[in-house]
Amino acid sequence: MTELAEPKRARGRPRKTENERDDGNRRQALIAAAARLFHLKGYDATSTREIAAQVGMQAGSPFYHFGNKHDLLLAVMVEGMKQASERQRAACAGQGQDRSPREQLRALIRNQFDVLLGPDSDFIPVMLYEWRSLNDEQHQTITGIKDDYEAAWIPVLQALHDSGQLQAPVSLARLMIFGALNWSVQWYEAPNASAKPRGSAPRATLDELTDSALKLFLRDGAANSAL
């Protein structure tokens, strides 16, 4: 009986799995460094060499984890939405079942400001600034994640609409509320910021921003019940 020939081995090192490529979370470190630089300088003005230098890697090493800079941008946005969703789930889980819709909306808005403006808040602003840099397929990927994130707001807004505290149609109110909150990345300055304030926007804490947003979006519950 003729022996079967042993299959030839591919030359060079065997291809690593995704987990093996992540050598000590270096992939995550690249995503975090890219988010920071994309936020500070913009996507077009940031080179992969700069991103690699931020995490102590050789200039070409990012391409061991990502096909190109464009793939890295998508990874930043996906990671940002993943973190935002996890924070939002935690914020909602921490609420008691007796929380009013107004208190629920406050928790959602406060979390959104934290995602946009709080510590380690580079990811979502990059998504807002660099949306135009994605292709159609990548737009669909991020839109699906974003729609899942915003879905948690709909029953809360509907309850507020049913009570008369939110007078705009829920579908439009959701879009306008997110538009207003997300625009804060353009003008917000923390109270302890050392830089000169941009324009005439007052400095405020995230709690103060949240309270102001609620007053802007909702009618006062007590006043409404007296009508």
- Binned at pLDDT 50, 70 and 90, residue 118 comes out as confident
Phi, psi angle pair for 212, to nearest 5°: -65, -40
> What share of the chain in percent tops pLDDT 90?
60
With CA atoms as reference, report the closest residue to 109 among 215, 186, 199.
215
Distance of alpha carbon 169 from alpha carbon 173, whole angstroms: 6
Distance of alpha carbon 89 from alpha carbon 83, whole angstroms: 10
Domains 18-67 and 75-225 share a fold: no
Q: How many CB atoms lie within 10 A of CB 55?
A: 18
- Binned at pLDDT 50, 70 and 90, residue 12 comes out as very low
The DSSP symbol for 187 reads: T
- pLDDT for residue 196 is more than 70: no
Candidate ranges 1-15, 130-144, 188-202; pick with highest mean pLDDT: 130-144
Residues in Cβ contact with 80 at an 8 Å cutoff, skipping those fewer than 6 apart: 35, 122, 123, 124, 126, 127
Distance of alpha carbon 73 from alpha carbon 117, whole angstroms: 20
Q: Which fold does the domain 75-225 belong to in CATH? A: Tetracycline Repressor; domain 2 (1.10.357)
> For the residues 148-157, what does the mean pLDDT come to?
94
Lowest mean pLDDT among 7-21, 137-151, 195-209: 7-21
What pLDDT, on a 0 to 100 scale, did the predictor assign at position 3?
A: 46
Q: Which has more pLDDT, 84 or 120?
A: 84
Lowest mean pLDDT among 15-19, 102-106, 192-196: 15-19
Burial of 46 (0-12, 13-18, 19+ CB in 10 A): buried
For tokens 């302890």, name the residue: 192
Domain ranges within the chain, ordered by starting residue: 18-67, 75-225
Q: How many CB atoms lie within 10 A of CB 82?
A: 13
Residues in Cβ contact with 222 at an 8 Å cutoff, skipping those fewer than 6 apart: none
Q: pTM higher than 0.95 for the full model?
A: no
CA dist list (Å): 134 to 40, 63, 199, 215:
19, 19, 30, 35
> For the residues 26-53, what does the mean pLDDT come to?
93
Provide Rg for the chain, Cα atoms: 23
Q: Which has more pLDDT, 167 or 18?
A: 167
Q: What average pLDDT does the chain have?
A: 84
- Binned at pLDDT 50, 70 and 90, residue 227 comes out as very low
Distance of alpha carbon 68 from alpha carbon 48, whole angstroms: 9
Can you read off the two tokens belonging to residue 38? 């994309």
> For the residues 184-202, what does the mean pLDDT come to?
69
What pLDDT, on a 0 to 100 scale, did the predictor assign at position 222?
A: 46
Instruction: Supply the CATH classification number for the domain 18-67.
Output: 1.10.10.60
**Do 105 and 157 meet the contact criterion of CB atoms below 8 Å apart?**
yes
